[in-house]
Amino acid sequence: MSNVERLKNRLADFNALTSAVAIMEWDQQTYMPRGGAAARAEHVGILSRMAHEMFTADETQKLLEHAKGETRDGTDEQALIRVTQREMDLRTKIPASLVEEKSKLSALAHEAWMVARANNDFAGFAPYIEKMFDIARREAEYLGYKEDIYDALLDQYEEGATSADVRKMFGDLKGPNIQLIKDIKERGKPVDDSGLYGEWDERKQREFTEKLVKTIGFDFNRGRQDTAPHPFCTGWSVGDIRLTTRFKPYVGSAIFGSLHEAGHGMYEQGSPTEWDLTPLAGGVSLGLHESQSRTWENIVGRSKAFWKRFLPDLQTTFPQLKSYDLNTWYRSINKVEPSFIRVEADEVTYNMHILVRFEIETDLLKEKLKVKNLPEAWNAKYTEYLGVTPKTDSEGCLQDVHWSGGSIGYFPTYSMGNLLSYQIWNALRKDVGDTDALIEKGEFQPILSWLQKKIYSQGRRYTPKDLVMRVTSKPMGAEDYLAGLDAKYKEIYDL
């Protein structure tokens, strides 16, 4: 047996362990009874440790070194080695003692964050932020970076992306985006979406959203949709990808949540069968993944063409929506309204929420901002970028779970996803033609096929930056995104 084969066998064992963790976590969010929590935590902890020990064992590292000599340039095996080496670096550069320290702090910080948010008590959470950013600085030093300490952290979530990339992105975005928000607020023709809030039968919502995601191309023979408090997508093989959705008084919550997760899901379902259960399978980065969820949620799912096709079905399902004509419905689901809460933000304001977080976590990391001054800085930026000021820290800087878990450097990938969705869509339209005409007819196959061929079927073969170049012939930029928003929202708001 070659070393490459031996390495593959070992990676298959690793994959079985991480898949066990993934299915346990899925079950925990969907079906697990309350009493199962303690044993679940124990099992997930043990299996995660086993997976980590197996992956980072001397034997695996040796196999990886030996296998390198056996692969030829441009082959899948070489890509496999590259991706495995990256994962090895991420897992071995940080000493086990720091990993453990972070893991323990995360558990405490998560608890403290929930209490602090419930009681609007920033002071109670501040010491944990302090410690978590201290850990992040040490992590970054172990991981290494060329120019900016932030790069080391960001790279964990988006291979090759740098703080400079993010600054460039927001530099291009910031002015026009803030201006658009302002124009809409001051001169836009008002949009009333109050009719979208009410009571909606859960079973009907479930059936309608399942039909929607099936129609756009999510394959229910190789996946399913369940209910969970926070929507997510997971999976453990190209033949078994799971979506979740949730039901709220806002009728769009389930609809756009399902379309969003189906975007993630179709990306995973499009991964090549022959790479299944290996590190080459699945999405290449958080940013690229998010670009696909946002494509199906926003570019397709919030288009007029889409609702020309589906509004009649929705009105049959929920007769209380019968009074909507297409245009009123289209404007309602695209209402722009600056708010304090990121997860409820519309397409236009979303990136400004991210900008606030990026600037703040950069300043905290570099100790340019003291933790005690965080709420003040947060509120000032919300006022400047979004024109609204949170009244409490609970609806301000305590709203997100990320920092309590030490996910520092994660937020920018959301904005990258937004930008990339439009950039990729424009490349798609050059090849596929009149997408509105296809969507109106409910013909999603040409769109999905293009994305499958260009992106989904590439798995993790290329780096994210390489893939963006290959697909769109240019590096990630803000121009397509800004042009897209402008065209769409100036029409909606009659600007």
16 is a contact residue toward a second copy (CB under 8 A): yes
Position 280: which residue type?
L
Position 226: which residue type?
D
Query: How far is 232 from 248, CA to CA, in rounded Å?
Result: 16
469 is a contact residue toward a second copy (CB under 8 A): no
Kindly name the residue from 159, 210, 261, 361 that is annotated as catalytic: 261
Q: Could you say which of 1, 34, 58, 430 contacts a second copy (CB under 8 A)?
A: 34
What is the full DSSP assignment across 59-74? Answer: HHHHHHHHHHTT--TT
Identify which of residues 4 and 238 has a Cβ nearer to a second copy in the complex: 238
Yes or no: say if 159 and 411 are a contact pair by the CB < 8 Å rule.
no
Stretch that binds a second copy, among 31-39, 80-88, 141-149, 455-463 (CB under 8 A): 31-39
Q: How many residues does the chain have?
A: 495
Counting residues that bind a second copy (by CB under 8 A) gives 39
The minimum distance between CB 54 and a second copy, in angstroms, equals: 9
Query: How far is 215 from 225, CA to CA, in rounded Å?
Result: 14
Q: Note if 261 is an active site residue.
A: yes
Identify which of residues 43 and 206 has a Cβ nearer to a second copy in the complex: 43
Stretch that binds a second copy, among 22-30, 137-145, 162-170, 366-374 (CB under 8 A): 22-30
- C-alpha to C-alpha distances, 75 to 82, 89, 468, nearest whole angstrom: 11, 21, 20
Identify which of residues 134 and 226 has a Cβ nearer to a second copy in the complex: 226
Stretch that binds a second copy, among 10-18, 113-121, 164-172, 193-201 (CB under 8 A): 10-18
The minimum distance between CB 42 and a second copy, in angstroms, equals: 7
17 is a contact residue toward a second copy (CB under 8 A): yes
Query: What phi and psi values does residue 475 have, to the nearest 5 degrees?
Result: -70, 165
Query: Which long-range contacts does 153-158 make (Cβ < 8 Å, 24+ apart)?
Result: 153/365, 153/408, 153/409, 154/409, 154/412, 155/409, 156/90, 156/409, 157/285, 157/286, 157/287, 157/407, 157/409, 157/410, 157/413, 158/285, 158/286, 158/287, 158/412, 158/413, 158/416, 158/464
19 is a contact residue toward a second copy (CB under 8 A): yes
Residues 37-66 that bind a second copy (CB under 8 A): 37-40, 42-43, 46-47, 50
Yes or no: say if 128 and 108 are a contact pair by the CB < 8 Å rule.
yes
1 is a contact residue toward a second copy (CB under 8 A): no
The minimum distance between CB 206 and a second copy, in angstroms, equals: 13
Identify which of residues 9 and 119 has a Cβ nearer to a second copy in the complex: 9
Stretch that binds a second copy, among 234-242, 316-324, 392-400, 404-412 (CB under 8 A): 234-242
The minimum distance between CB 84 and a second copy, in angstroms, equals: 18
Quick note: the x/- pattern for a second copy over 253-292, rule CB under 8 A, is: -----------------------xx---------------
Query: What phi and psi values does residue 409 have, to the nearest 5 degrees?
Result: 100, 5
Give the list of residues 6+ apart from residue 335 with CB closer than 8 angstroms, or none: 191, 193, 346
Position 454: which residue type?
K
Q: Which two tokens stand for residue 390?
A: 């949170």
114 is a contact residue toward a second copy (CB under 8 A): no
244 - beta bridge partners?
A: 226
The minimum distance between CB 245 and a second copy, in angstroms, equals: 15
The torsion angle over the Cα atoms of residues 289, 290, 292 and 295, rounded to 10 degrees, is -170
Stretch that binds a second copy, among 21-29, 55-63, 124-132, 327-335 (CB under 8 A): 21-29
Query: How far is 139 from 110, CA to CA, in rounded Å?
Result: 19
Q: Could you say which of 70, 121, 183, 226 contacts a second copy (CB under 8 A)?
A: 226
Stretch that binds a second copy, among 127-135, 164-172, 235-243, 401-409 (CB under 8 A): 235-243
The minimum distance between CB 39 and a second copy, in angstroms, equals: 3
Using CB under 8 A, list all residues that contact a second copy: 12-13, 15-17, 19-20, 23-24, 27, 31-40, 42-43, 46-47, 50, 219-224, 226, 236-240, 276-277
Residues involved in catalysis = 261
